[in-house]
Amino acid sequence: MRLKKIMFFSFLALTAVLVSGCTIKIGNGKATAVDGGVFKSTDGGQVWAQVASVPSSGGKIASIANVDIRRMVFDPSDYNTIYLSTEKNGVIYTNDSGANWHQFKQFVGAKINAVAIDPNDKCNLYVLYANKIYKSTDCGRFWDDIYVHQNTGVILSDIVVDYVNSSIVYITTNVGEILRSNDGGSNWATVNRVNKGVFLDLVMDAKDSRIVYAATQKSGVYKTTDSGKTWNSLGDGLKAYSGSQEYKGLIISPSVKDGLILISKFGMLRTSDGGANWEVVELLPASKQTTIYSVAVNPKDSSEIYYATRTTLVKSVDSGKTWSSQALPTSRIANRLIINPDNPLTIYLGTSKPSEK
């Protein structure tokens, strides 16, 4: 495949405003008070502050408060660095824990499905845009389109990099494919197909990188334990839970071997054996009355769980036996929660407009 070196997306630049000396033009481009973007807590979720500033000149206010966030990911080697995949504003990132945000000019105006960072070299970045993968090896200055799906209607939905051998990279598509590269993205092979499956998320086990989970919209969750050579459905263990195939979210519980939390139409389920068996986590309010938009678990203490409903942030410190709640710091949807692995008191909350969810 011929690689195309890009410095700008000229077709996007015609319709989008690039980073300038005064502002990043996002949303409606107005520097008005909007209670969106990213919020940060440094005390375990009790107090939140909006962190949305963009470096600017000329005394004008610049902000990411209008951004609709799709995903938030830490740089695995530097938790002060966070990348945002956005609905309409490309890739936005911070290197100082949210104090200031920046934007890659190459993706301004683009809907970005996912960003991944090489755990062994933070300057190796991957971006999924429509049916293409872009890679930078110099911290985002230049980008190569390293893979283009032959079907222009296909969307590349998620990407994960093996933290032991970062030459191994996985991606999923919205037409039921899981692909793997063994050479950092130069070549790809399909390692699993699910008929009529719409893959949404990839999650790698925190203690064994050979274990990867791939979640579909309505066709269940699939698992490999041998770096993608074989895949098996977790469907048998979930049969008893009506609605559990209608997926909303899957996160690793890093402090528990084989620990996972699954969010679905059923509610919240938890496993400590990699998905063979599940237990119900009772919610506040009851599961059938709750729509969960995001969930997070303390990386060092699996008994501490957070989730966000439309208006409320809910927290448990005893594995879900009891819960406390408080109003969200935003009127928008809190569709992402991430917790600093080194300092779990530090939590970030990403938002999007209700119409975008």
Query: Token pair for residue 130?
Result: 């429509």
Q: In the prediction, which pLDDT does 287 show?
A: 63
CA nearest neighbour of 169 among 123, 113, 209, 110: 209
Q: In the prediction, which pLDDT does 14 show?
A: 32
Task: Look up the CATH number of the domain holding residue 250.
Answer: 2.130.10.10
> Is 173 a member of any domain?
yes
> Is 207 a member of any domain?
yes
Q: How many Å apart are CA 297 and CA 305, to the nearest integer?
A: 5
pLDDT at 219 over 90: yes
pLDDT at 18 over 80: no
Query: Token pair for residue 232?
Result: 């098996």
Q: Each residue of 228-238: pLDDT tens digit?
A: 999 999 999 99
Q: The domain containing residue 164 runs over which residues?
A: 149-281
Q: In the prediction, which pLDDT does 237 show?
A: 93
CA nearest neighbour of 105 among 69, 71, 82, 136: 136
Q: In the prediction, which pLDDT does 355 show?
A: 65
Angstrom CA distances, 213 to 160, 161, 263, 277, 292, stand at 10, 13, 14, 15, 20
Percent of the chain with pLDDT over 70: 88
Query: Token pair for residue 289?
Result: 């009355």
Q: How many Å apart are CA 356 and CA 293, to the nearest integer?
A: 12
> Is 188 a member of any domain?
yes
Q: Each residue of 62-97: pLDDT tens digit?
A: 899 999 999 999 999 999 999 999 999 999 999 999
Q: In the prediction, which pLDDT does 290 show?
A: 81
Mean pLDDT calculated for residue range 3-14: 37
Band the pLDDT of 59: cuts 50, 70, 90: low
> Is 195 a member of any domain?
yes
Q: In the prediction, which pLDDT does 332 show?
A: 96
> Is 206 a member of any domain?
yes
> Is 261 a member of any domain?
yes
> Is 208 a member of any domain?
yes
pLDDT at 265 over 50: yes
Predicted TM-score of the model (pTM)? 0.90
Mean pLDDT of the chain: 89
Q: Each residue of 296-312: pLDDT tens digit?
A: 999 999 999 999 999 99
Q: How many Å apart are CA 263 and CA 232, to the nearest integer?
A: 19
Does residue 129 sit in helix, strand or coil?
A: strand
> Is 50 a member of any domain?
no
Q: In the prediction, which pLDDT does 191 show?
A: 98
Number of domains in the chain: 1
Q: In the prediction, which pLDDT does 62 show?
A: 84
